[in-house]
Amino acid sequence: MMKNTLKDAALILVDIQNDFCPDGALAVAEGDQIVAVVNRMMRVFPLVISTQDWHPPNHISFKEQGGPWPPHCVRGTRGAELHPALKTETIKYYFRKASSADKDAYSEFEGVDENNRKLDEVLKSLGVRKLFVAGLATDYCVLATVLDGLENGYEVYAVTDAMRAVNVNPDDGEKALEEMAAKGARLVKSDEILKGSKPASAAAR
């Protein structure tokens, strides 16, 4: 199904960080279970990008500042680190977002890499046309990133078994998937991607 279609594709790994995994500060149920799935998927993509929620200690989204969340993903802490089992060898770019105290951001399109480049700029410069989005959490940063990807003109695939939801309300994750699909994203399973795909050559990365 996906044969030969991943040449101009990027795998975007959204916020696979300790604080969004069980025992983390903003734990997502089964958040850690996606790690094995994304580790398997990476090898068929010519480009893999990882992102992080990266807040200062007094961030506006934290309850003490009137925000909705417990403190999480504070820059430089263990909770903000990527899950230790995530394979990083093929990750080419790292983006971080929501780094200033007075502004929150859910979409990874608002983040910057180590050279202060925006995600859209890097993707366009590399000729990427398709985004495969996985990560945490389905109902916040994955949703916002998928919708922004569509708005920025990409063909967007949401890899449904490689994401988990916060589910403040029990069906938030389901609703997020419905919204993605309604706006034009394609919902796929990691197996469908892996089935017809050969490993990407290291040179392509």
Looking at the Cβ atoms of 32 and 53, the one nearer to ligand VGL is: 53
Run of H or E including 13: strand 9-14
Q: Which does 11 bind (CB under 5 to 8 A by kind): Zn ion, ligand VGL, none?
A: none
Looking at the Cβ atoms of 69 and 157, the one nearer to ligand VGL is: 69
Q: Which of 53, 120, 139, 148 is the binder for Zn ion (CB under 5 A)?
A: 53
Q: What are phi and psi of 11, to 5 degrees?
A: -95, 120
Amino acid at 133: V
Please check whether residue 136 is in contact with residue 91, taking contact to mean a CB–CB distance below 8 angstroms. no
**CA distance linking residue 7 with residue 141, whole number of Å:** 25
Catalytic residue at 97? yes
Residues 138-157 binding ligand VGL (CB under 6 A) are 140-141
**CA distance linking residue 157 with residue 134, whole number of Å:** 9
Catalytic residue among 19, 104, 130, 141: 141
Residues 41-70 binding ligand VGL (CB under 6 A) are 53, 61, 69
Catalytic residue among 21, 73, 97, 130: 97
**CA distance linking residue 95 with residue 112, whole number of Å:** 5
CB of 34 to ligand VGL, least distance (A): 13
Looking at the Cβ atoms of 128 and 137, the one nearer to ligand VGL is: 137
SS3 32: helix
**CA distance linking residue 3 with residue 126, whole number of Å:** 20
Residue span binding ligand VGL (CB under 6 A) among the ranges 82-90, 137-145, 148-156, 189-197? 137-145
The torsion angle over the Cα atoms of residues 180, 184, 187 and 193, rounded to 10 degrees, is -130
Residue span binding ligand VGL (CB under 6 A) among the ranges 74-82, 88-96, 136-144, 177-185? 136-144
Positions marked catalytic: 15, 97, 141
Residues that bind ligand VGL (CB under 6 A): 15, 53, 61, 69, 136-137, 140-141
